[in-house]
């Protein structure tokens, strides 16, 4: 596995030249576009890594995978009255369907859906920002995981599309908390900084039950979470990613993509900041495509 990851790094790295880091969040626009990481963690506990695999980056929308998992665990089926499980075919921050579909977001991985999930969590657990960070510490086995306050401030300063979604949700009766508060907490989840290795460890509950105290360790909802990852994990590129890579995955505009391969018993995370026009990392997609092809799906 280790030589394979190094070969993949060599092959995938150059593809990043075709894109740029997220430009609409100033703190992300400043990240070194040459960074690259690939980490693989097996259900037996072996870890393999190439590149900058221990350097924390902004997890952004990868947080949506874990907040959804917590909401499924802590809130249960009533969540599905407020958000559907259907690909949107639209950009991750689009609010067009929210208007025409009565304020019920298509899925929990587009921004409007993740804001509903945040609102539901915030309603039952007012200290969810600390709670979420603690769960990610437990899942990754690393107490050093923390929020990046510069990224958080940067998103608050530029997050008007997300506030628009939150106010529309409120107007349609699908938000219980204050829209500004809900979006600020959503931005905070997105601003968590984690390394590729930490994220691969954290995603292992989607492959096999894990020891430890994390709320998600048992992996009760893994099958259904993987279904939503397959169909909605890369927004309006989910079909293309399924065709090319074939693994359930979740991306973020920080340039990270988490993917899991239950058949082969591993979780992986690739990171490279430059994005394609859909907001997904070009070199991380390439790295995971090579990894899936070489290990089998
Ligand atoms: N925080 C980002 C936003 O709301 C997350 C988007 C993403 O990673 N796709 O725009």
Q: In the chain, what are the domains? A: 2-295 (3.40.710.10)
Cα(218) to ligand 1 centroid in Å equals 28
Mean pLDDT for 103-109 is 98
DSSP the chain: -HHHHHHHHHHHGGGGGG-B--SSSHHHHTS-TT--EEEEEETTS-EEEEESTTS-EE-TTHHHHHHHHHHHHHT-GGGGGT---S---S-TT--HHHHHTTT--S-TTSHHHHHHHHHHHHHH-TTHHHHHHHHHHHHHT-TT-EE-HHHHHHHHHH-HHHHHHHHHHHHTT---S-HHHHHHHHHHHHTEEE-HHHHHHHGGGGTS--SSS-TTTT-TTHHHHHHHHHHHTTGGGHHHHHHHT-S-EEE-TTSEEEEEETTTTEEEEEE-S-B-TTS-BHHHHHHHHHHHHHH--
Residue bearing the CA closest to ligand 1, atom 2:
60
Q: What is the mean pLDDT of the chain?
A: 97
Sort 14 into a burial class: Cβ within 10 Å, 0-12 / 13-18 / 19+. exposed
Cα(252) to ligand 1 centroid in Å equals 7
Cα(66) to ligand 1 centroid in Å equals 14
Mean pLDDT for 26-41 is 97
Name the residue of 190, 229, 238 whose CB sits within 8 Å of the most ligand 1 atoms, as the mutation to test its pocket.
190
Percentage of the chain exceeding pLDDT 70: 100
Dump pLDDT digits (tens) for 46-101.
999 999 999 999 999 999 999 999 999 999 999 999 999 999 999 999 999 999 99
Percentage of the chain exceeding pLDDT 90: 100
Atom in ligand 1 nearest the alpha carbon of residue 253: 8
Instruction: Identify the pLDDT of residue 116.
Output: 98
Name the residue of 68, 252, 256, 285 whose CB sits within 8 Å of the most ligand 1 atoms, as the mutation to test its pocket.
252
Read off the tokens for 154. Answer: 């940067």
**Quick one: pLDDT band at residue 38, thresholds 50, 70, 90?**
very high
Residue 266 main-chain phi, psi, to 5 deg: -140, 160
Instruction: Identify the pLDDT of residue 297.
Output: 85
Instruction: Identify the pLDDT of residue 143.
Output: 97
Cα(75) to ligand 1 centroid in Å equals 23
How many beta carbons lie within 10 A of that of residue 75, not counting itself? 17
Atom in ligand 1 nearest the alpha carbon of residue 235: 9
Atom in ligand 1 nearest the alpha carbon of residue 254: 8
Atom in ligand 1 nearest the alpha carbon of residue 114: 4
Name the residue of 59, 93, 189, 258 whose CB sits within 8 Å of the most ligand 1 atoms, as the mutation to test its pocket.
93
Residue bearing the CA closest to ligand 1, atom 10:
93
Dump pLDDT digits (tens) for 130-185.
999 999 999 999 999 999 999 999 999 999 999 999 999 999 999 999 999 999 99
Mean pLDDT for 231-258 is 97
Instruction: Identify the pLDDT of residue 57.
Output: 98
Cα(116) to ligand 1 centroid in Å equals 14
Mean pLDDT for 205-217 is 96
Residue bearing the CA closest to ligand 1, atom 6:
61
Active-site amino acid positions:
61, 64, 186, 235, 253
Cα(274) to ligand 1 centroid in Å equals 14
Residue ranges lining ligand 1, Cβ < 6 Å: 60-61, 92-93, 111, 155, 162, 190, 252-253, 279
Instruction: Identify the pLDDT of residue 59.
Output: 98
Atom in ligand 1 nearest the alpha carbon of residue 190: 1
Mean pLDDT for 259-264 is 97
């Amino acid at each position: 596995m280790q030589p394979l990851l190094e070969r993949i790094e060599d092959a995938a790295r150059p593809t990043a030249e075709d894109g740029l880091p997220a430009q609409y969040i100033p703190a992300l626009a400043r990240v070194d576009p040459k960074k690259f990481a690939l980490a693989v963690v097996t259900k037996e506990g072996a870890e393999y890594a190439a590149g900058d695999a221990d350097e924390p980056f902004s997890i952004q929308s990868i947080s949506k995978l874990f907040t959804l998992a917590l909401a499924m665990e802590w809130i249960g089926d009533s969540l599905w009255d407020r958000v559907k499980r259907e690909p949107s075919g639209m950009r991750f921050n689009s609010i067009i369907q929210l208007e025409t579909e009565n304020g019920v977001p298509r899925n929990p991985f587009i921004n409007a859906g993740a804001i509903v999930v945040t609102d539901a969590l915030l309603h039952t657990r007012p200290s969810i920002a600390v709670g979420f960070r603690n769960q990610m510490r437990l899942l990754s086995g690393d107490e050093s995981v923390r929020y990046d306050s510069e990224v958080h401030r940067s998103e608050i300063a530029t997050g008007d599309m997300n506030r628009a979604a939150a106010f529309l949700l409120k107007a349609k009766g699908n938000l219980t908390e204050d829209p500004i508060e809900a979006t600020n907490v959503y931005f905070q989840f997105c601003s968590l900084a984690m390394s590729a290795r930490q994220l691969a460890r954290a995603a292992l509950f989607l492959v096999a039950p894990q020891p430890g105290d994390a709320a998600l360790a048992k992996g009760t909802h893994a099958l259904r979470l993987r279904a939503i990852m397959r169909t909605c994990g890369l927004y309006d590129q989910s079909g293309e990613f399924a065709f090319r890579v074939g693994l359930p995955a979740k991306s973020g505009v920080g340039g990270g993509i988490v993917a899991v391969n239950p058949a082969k018993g591993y979780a992986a995370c690739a990171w490279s900041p430059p994005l394609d026009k859909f907001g997904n990392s070009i070199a991380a997609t390439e790295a995971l495509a090579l990894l899936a092809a070489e290990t089998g799906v």
